[in-house]
Amino acid sequence: MLVELKPEQERLLECIAQSGMNPEEVLDQAFAIIQEQHQNLDWLLEERGAVAAQIEEGFEESERGELINAEEAIRILHERRKQRQIA
């Protein structure tokens, strides 16, 4: 497959090549990111109702003053992401 790059894409590849990465490595990383985004979108569409319910629950907890600090929120999000990746 032959792909024509835009000038800004070519410039980016040239800059990256100067840092030591080859174009194949760059494309591998780009495709991995695209695949992860696609999987996340699929998950979000499948779990739309559950996500909406959790958001609503969070708003209600906030209105009642039942908030957690930033460090705890980040810990919870990291744990949930790990669980999603395992599944």
- Candidates 21, 20, 26; CA nearest to 5 is 26
Q: Quote the CA–CA distance of 41 and 49 in Å, as a whole number.
A: 14
Report the predicted TM-score, pTM, of the whole model to 2 decimal places: 0.46
Q: What is the pLDDT of residues 52-70, one digit of tens each?
A: 999 999 999 999 999 888 9
Is residue 32 predicted with pLDDT exceeding 90? yes
Q: What is the 3-state secondary structure (H, E, C) of the chain?
A: CCCCCCHHHHHHHHHHHHCCCCHHHHHHHHHHHHHHHHHHHHHHHHCHHHHHHHHHHHHHHHHCCCCCCHHHHHHHHHHHHHHHHHC
pLDDT of 44 higher than 90: no
pLDDT for 55: 93
Q: Which of 25, 24, 27 is nearest to 35 (CA)?
A: 27
